[in-house]
Chains A and B, each alone.
Chain A
Amino acid sequence: MHIVTHLRLAVMNKATHFKAHTRRAVSVKKLLLLAALLGAWVLPSQAAQTSAPFNLTINLQNSSSMPDSGLCRSTSMIGTFGSTMTVYCSSGAIASFSGDPSTLPWTTKQDSSYRFVTQVSRAGELMGTIDIYTGGTVTSWRVIRLTDRDYLEMMVHW
């Protein structure tokens, strides 16, 4: 009698376990459905995108390939006492000026009162001399030596 009761209990336990398993499966299904619905609701609100590729090309010209004129020039459109400019020369050609050239009171011009002639050496050969006709003052200058070229940086104050 005791054994029969125990068996019946075991059977009942199996049935209960099956029901619980079924209930759990339904819950998982419900969760999945809810997740799908939530996803469908969320997706349209996400930012859509459209894109287009493009190329960026950078061409670098080595300044040593510039002609060796051995001359850097600027005009003397003074009027800004205390202004300072920096002239970069590379193998005698003007490479760049510090600041915005349009705001500086001078432009590059031949036979002007300011005349900068670079002294450039390459492989031991002198390419030019420094020759300044100016009312300003050269506050500092330096020759920057790179592997394939030297160039002059000059600070002129007036």
Chain B
Amino acid sequence: MKSVQIKKLALSSIAAAAMLAAIPAAKAGTATSGNFNLTINLTSGCTVTTPGNVTLNYTSLGAAANASSAFAVTCTNLLPYTMATDVIGGTVIGLNYTLATSAAGGTGNGIAQGYTVDAGITAGQPGDCALGTCSSTTVHTLTVSY
């Protein structure tokens, strides 16, 4: 009699276990997965701010004059670049001047990097001026290549 009860108990336990085992399967459902590619194409680039006006005040036969104007170059990280002005010098109102950037180039770091455009006139030039003062403005271009 006792063994029959034990058997019934064992059967009940097995049935309960089977039911418990069936529950998670019903909750999880069927899962499947697939791979996909994410491609990011980065086009490197640079931006440059416009330098302010560069003004040289020079006295005829006087001392050398120099002037600078700041600009900033922002380039993609690790991107090398070069900088140059359209000319390295010229002559206006009889004065020979030089024009250059403070550095020939650099490597981008993602943030603005400061440089200057430098202009100069050597000492002792007479210049051409029929009046007390003369002035000349020329437009130049700063180019960043990368």
A43 at interface, CB cutoff 8 A: no
Given contacts A51-B143, A52-B51, contact A57 B61 (CB under 8 A): no
Q: Which of A17-25, A60-68, A69-77 contacts B (4 or more CB under 8 A)?
A: A60-68
Asked whether, in the complex, the Cβ of B63 is within 8 Å of the Cβ of A97, the reply is: yes
Contact B54 A48 (CB under 8 A): no
Q: Which residue of B lies closest to A89 (CB)?
A: B61
For the complex formed, measure the closest distance between the CB of B118 and the CB atoms of chain A, giving whole angstroms: 11
A82 located at the interface, meaning its Cβ lies under 8 Å from any Cβ of chain B in the complex: no
Segment 93-146 of B: residues with Cβ below 8 Å from A: 93-95, 97, 99, 117, 119, 121, 123-124, 126-127, 129, 131-146
Which A residues lie within 8 Å of B117 (CB)?
54
* Chain B contacts for A119, CB-based, 8 A: none
Contact B63 A60 (CB under 8 A): no
In the complex, what residues of A have CB within 8 A of residue B121's CB?
58
Please classify the interface of chain B as helix (H, G, I), strand (E, B), loop, or mixed, using the class held by over half of its residues.
strand
* Contact (Cβ within 8 A) B61 A60: no
Q: Is the CB of B141 within 8 A of A53?
A: yes
A48/B45 in contact, CB under 8 A = yes
**A55 on the interface (CB 8 Å rule)?**
yes
Q: What does the 1/0 interface line of B39-64 toward A look like (CB < 8 Å)?
A: 00000011111111111111111110
- Are A54 and B53 in contact (CB-based, < 8 A)? yes
B84: min CB distance to chain A, Å: 10
Partner of B69, one of A47, A51, A54, A60: A54
In the complex, what distance in Å separates the CA atom of A48 from the CA atom of B146?
5
Does residue B92 face the partner (Cβ distance < 8 Å to A)? yes
- B53 CB contacts on chain A under 8 angstroms: 54-57
Cβ contact within 8 Å between A58 and B58: yes
- Nearest-Cβ distance from residue A61 to partner chain B, whole angstroms: 5
- Assuming the A-B contacts A59-B133, A60-B93, A97-B63, are A54 and B58 also in contact, with contact meaning beta carbons closer than 8 angstroms in the complex? no
**Interface assignment of A103: CB less than 8 Å from any CB of chain B:** no
- Residues on B with beta carbons closer than 8 Å to the beta carbon of A47: 145-146
Which residues of A come within 8 Å of B, CB atoms?
Answer: 47-66, 88, 90, 95-98, 101, 146, 151
17 contacts between A and B (CB under 8 A): A47-B145, A48-B146, A49-B146, A51-B143, A52-B48, A52-B142, A53-B141, A54-B117, A56-B53, A56-B97, A56-B138, A57-B136, A58-B55, A58-B121, A60-B134, A61-B57, A61-B58
Given contacts A55-B53, A58-B92, 7 further A-B contacts (CB under 8 A): A48-B45, A51-B143, A56-B138, A60-B129, A62-B131, A63-B59, A63-B60
